[in-house]
Structure 1
Amino acid sequence: MASAYPGNLVDDPNFSGPIDDAVRFLVAALFSMKFYLLFSFLFGYSFVLQMDAAARAGAAFVPRMLRRSLGLFIFGAGHIVLLYSGDVLTTYAVICLVLLAMYRVRDRTALLTSGIIYAFVTLSLVFSAAFLDRSMFMPSHDEALAQAATQTQTMLGGPLEILGHHLAGLDLLVIQAASLQGPTALAMFLIGMIAARRRLFSDLGNRTQLLRRVQLVGFAVGLPGGVLFAWLGGDANTWATAVSVVTAPFLSAAYVATLIRLLHVRQGGPLRRVLEPVGRIALTNYLGQSLVGLILFTGIGLGLAGRVSPLMLFVLAVVIFAVQAGVSAWWLQSHRYGPAEYLLRLLTNWSRPRRGRSVSAPSSLPPSAA
């Protein structure tokens, strides 16, 4: 949101110093293409929690989940048009329909399907890297730089220019969702569904060894994969994307195992108190970050697009999250749900949610899933 250069797969020439390059490298190695997998896993996990909730309420699960998917799609469409074109909610809403068609399959079938999806995506990327000429469908480096400069300037315009900029990115969003993000998200949905069926987070006292193994294997495979992804050029290189598709799930799993272990040690109370409110209103915070980005970077607000270095952008992201953590805790002192969660729950259950103060999520569940 801070610049149109990353979206055009090129670096801003105004920030080309060693520190800028180092920050980009670290972000690509440790974060890029890793965290939407975590959110996808939690979506699959929460899918089973929604099923359990429907059973407790004596309600039909499929209509509830269809309404929930519709709500996510509406939120996502509004997000794309008004705030930021790089939305994931619309993709999740559509892929959830596939998950609905598969939710009765056995764990073994779900796991096999997930593996087949990843194999297909990986082979497609390898084929593209080896045999397709990128210049046939991608602009040259100079053309991408010129296009990025023009788009960054457009971001500094008024509401109509920004709206046009958001809509102009729709074709890329659809291509990315259909070819990469959608299939890999579905694979993680299925793995999350399996984890919830097996109550992976319900008895952590007996799973310490499992979490350690996940950390050991995940970091051993995922960190070198992330470094190789960054060294090859990140999103701008098809070989790098193929490496990330194969290795990013390992690093994401290691992050999950590490966070779960930190949250459940005796000294993890402060961390739980910081993160739980953010996770309980994750949808509101997701949309809120885009609103903050719109105000900070576009011509509607401060107009900082193209003016923030990678290092300052990283610091800014941490500050925004810290503020959101404080606001989330404050909000939940007097509200049970975030604004977006309230509306989504209203549509999902087709009844008005209870008001009042929040009730803490069970400590055995990840806050976002709860």
Structure 2
Amino acid sequence: MTDPIMSPGEQRPEPVLAGERNQTLDVLRGMAILGILVLNIQSFAMPSFAYIVPTAWGDFTGANFAVWLASHLLADQKFVTIFSLLFGAGIVLMAERQQAKGLSAAGLHYRRMAWLALFGLLHAYLIWYGDILLTLALCGAAAYLVWRLPPAALVGIGLVAIAIPATCWGALGMTLSHWPDEAIAGLEHDWGPAAIEEARWEYQVYNAGWLAQMPHRAMMALYLQTFVLVFHSFWAISGLMCLGMALYKAGWLTGQASAWTYHLALGLAVLVGLPVIGLGVMHNMQRGWDATWPFVGMQFNYWGSLLVAGGWIAAAVLLVRHQWLSRVRQALSAVGQTALSNYLFQSLLCTFIFYGHGLGAFGDITRLGQLGLVLVVWSIQIALSLWWVRRYRFGPMEWLWRSMTYRRRQPMRRVANL
């Protein structure tokens, strides 16, 4: 979704040629798009509170617990992290190409972000409230201001930004012992009985028609675009974009860094990241997923995900560098080249499967069943993406995005020499 837009040259945009694409970035982007569905499907399929408190809805034993645990350890926040890093890399890549042609990148970038924000608003209010496109656009607009800085400065800014929400939530949690009893009681009520009642209401709403869903969809979208954006996601994702810029400039995201750095990232993911997240699981289960989760319980996965995401990136780089599993690389690359289209396709297909204006399976599919559906959706997306990129230069939404950004209809079909 963050692949670069080519410079228009003499006010005429040119498509990205096949030989100019970086396969590592395409593979990473495809991996992120497919991986993000592993967690998003829980929000498509179940009431929103079940994403935070997995015991709030459905069976949480046996195979269903195993699916949740694996997805939490390996996927939750990891692929959104990769997605955000790649977005930051894409900002630098686009800006450098513009500058190399003696053109200003700022106007193009902000026009690009404005259209992405519009896509995000339409997606959030008309299809699925869990949209990330608007957040990416707003964070991308802010992150662009620092793209020229050297990698070390970008790393510093990125880590500080990422630490802001975690530090604020942690500091707030330290004040809990000084809260009045009625405030504590209110928090526990909102986290317990009120949240369960909300989940039951969601079950009824999303098994009804599209219009009946609108009030809740709009309420959730607005909550994510205001409170969550201001106090959490803006800082976390903007910081990740800055890290992505630094990692791109250092050649790490494009597979040009030393081999030992990728093996180190894999080691840190396995030996540090996963154990930290595992400790968080034990902590939250012992506490019964209580109301302290936002202040303490979320910290384990928040920080551990950075290392596990780095391990996923390292694995993908080694996959490309050593030319392993050619069909897997081709599949991920094809999905990555059509990432925006695939992201929106996931929402359209999954809301049709789960919501009342489609098959109406909301709240009735176990986590094991959700995993099966993820594999089905992946199969469809990979097959369609491979078919599409052999015939067209851009995915359908990528084509629309570029055409609107450059204010000129882009060529779509491939020609024989591409």
The two structures have a TM-score, normalised by structure 1, of: 0.90
User: 2:116 aligns to what?
Assistant: 72
Match among 212, 217, 237 for residue 263 of structure 2: 212
User: 1:252 aligns to what?
Assistant: 309
User: 1:83 aligns to what?
Assistant: 127
Pairing 1:3–2:51 present: no
The answer on whether the counterparts of 1:228 and 1:240 sit within 8 Å (CA) in structure 2 is no
The superposition leaves residues 107-151 of structure 1 with CA deviations (integer Å, 9 ceiling, x where unpaired) of 222211112223332321222333236654561422211210111
Q: Which amino acid aligns with 1:196?
A: Y
Q: Which stretch of structure 1 is more off in the superposition, 179-188 or 101-110? A: 101-110
Q: How does 1:6-45 map to 2 (within 5 A)?
A: 6-7=50-51, 9=53, 11-45=55-89
Separation (CA, whole Å) in 2 of partners of 1:317 and 1:325 = 12
User: 2:359 aligns to what?
Assistant: 302
Pairing 1:194–2:246 present: yes
Q: Which amino acid aligns with 2:67?
A: V
User: 1:121 aligns to what?
Assistant: 165
Q: How does 1:1-370 map to 2 (within 5 A)?
A: 1-4=44-47, 5-7=49-51, 9=53, 11-132=55-176, 135-137=185-187, 139-173=190-224, 174-202=226-254, 204=256, 207-233=258-284, 237-238=293-294, 239-357=296-414
Gaps of 5+ in 1: 362-370
Gaps of 5+ in 2: 1-43
Separation (CA, whole Å) in 1 of partners of 2:328 and 2:63 = 30
| Residue 358 (structure 1) shift | 8.1
Q: Which amino acid aligns with 1:344?
A: W
The answer on whether the counterparts of 2:123 and 2:131 sit within 8 Å (CA) in structure 1 is yes
Q: Which amino acid aligns with 1:98?
A: A
Q: Which amino acid aligns with 2:69?
A: F
**Alignment RMSD, CA only?**
2.3
**Gap change, CA 1:201 and 1:87, over 3 Å in 2:** closer
Q: Which stretch of structure 1 is more off in the superposition, 55-64 or 183-192? A: 55-64
Separation (CA, whole Å) in 2 of partners of 1:100 and 1:14 = 43
The answer on whether the counterparts of 1:30 and 1:226 sit within 8 Å (CA) in structure 2 is no
The superposition leaves residues 226-250 of structure 1 with CA deviations (integer Å, 9 ceiling, x where unpaired) of 2123333398723121122222101
Separation (CA, whole Å) in 2 of partners of 1:260 and 1:20 = 32
**Gap change, CA 1:32 and 1:143, over 3 Å in 2:** same
Separation (CA, whole Å) in 1 of partners of 2:315 and 2:162 = 24
The superposition leaves residues 183-236 of structure 1 with CA deviations (integer Å, 9 ceiling, x where unpaired) of 1111110111112223335563x6211111111123222111221233333987
**Gap change, CA 1:219 and 1:143, over 3 Å in 2:** same
Separation (CA, whole Å) in 2 of partners of 1:228 and 1:360 = 54
Q: Which stretch of structure 1 is more off in the superposition, 246-255 or 234-243? A: 234-243
